[in-house]
Amino acid sequence: MDYYSDHIKTLIDELGRLPGVGYKSASRLAFHIVNMPQEGVDRLVDSIRNAKANVRYCKKCCTLTDDEYCPICKSPGRDASTVMVVENSRDLAAYEKTGEYHGLYHVLHGAISPALGIGPADIRLKELMQRLETEQISEVIIATNSSLEGETTAMYISKLIKPAGIKVSRIASGVPVGGDLEYIDEITLLRALEGRVEL
């Protein structure tokens, strides 16, 4: 039995595909959107379209940005000899919010997960290795999540980099196991960074 119009049903289906949005939330959002003033809907649609069309990967650190290089890579005040490897741009933002990290980043856009069929070639690892060859980097801080995938990725990267004679460290386990960096408070993040151990 179909209670809704086909258009609403399609909208609910599409919203429901977004991460973290279940059927209930999707239908609440769909009805909210249908009842919004036209200008509001236009703004929402435009913002989605513009983000999709204009956001790209920083040529250096691979984070999402509007320009060729992101503001962090462009900043002359950053310590270019230290690179923190994170899983995604949200983790980068979490560390930036602490205001205490002054090095550069490298965003992998994922983590190695044999269970999900995600291998080293599926994340931005090649780009990291290229940077290590061309930039003067003396320390790589691995700040992937402390999930199984994050740990697997950290191990893999450290094995890959160590032969090059570059210092590799891993943020301390102040970050709870399985915890997503973006949900962890700034003090915990700072402690994890300060207590990092060399691999």
Which H or E run includes 139?
strand 139-142
Alpha carbon distance 52, 194 (integer Å): 36
Least distance between Zn ion and beta carbon 147 (Å) = 24
- Between residues 28 and 78, which has the closer beta carbon with respect to Zn ion? 78
Which of 76, 172, 157 has its CA nearest to residue 124?
A: 157
Give one DSSP letter per residue of 153-170, joined into a string.
Answer: HHHHHHHHHGGGT-EEEE
Least distance between Zn ion and beta carbon 25 (Å) = 33
Strands 103-107 and 139-142: unpaired
Handedness of CA 71, 73, 76, 81 (dihedral sign): positive
- Between residues 124 and 196, which has the closer beta carbon with respect to Zn ion? 124
The footprint of Zn ion on this chain (CB under 5 A) covers a number of residues equal to 5
Site string for Zn ion, 66-95 (x = CB under 5 A): ----x--x----------------------
Q: Give first-to-last CA distance, the chain, whole Å.
A: 59
60 binds Zn ion (CB under 5 A): yes
- Between residues 31 and 69, which has the closer beta carbon with respect to Zn ion? 69
Kindly tell me which residue out of 11, 12, 26, 58 binds Zn ion, with binding defined by CB under 5 A.
Answer: 58
Least distance between Zn ion and beta carbon 151 (Å) = 25
Kindly tell me which residue out of 26, 61, 128, 154 binds Zn ion, with binding defined by CB under 5 A.
Answer: 61
Structure-token pair, residue 139: 């320390």
Please name the amino acid found at residue 179. G
- Between residues 63 and 153, which has the closer beta carbon with respect to Zn ion? 63
Alpha carbon distance 55, 84 (integer Å): 22
Least distance between Zn ion and beta carbon 63 (Å) = 5
Least distance between Zn ion and beta carbon 187 (Å) = 26
Task: List contacts with Zn ion (CB under 5 A).
Answer: 58, 60-61, 70, 73
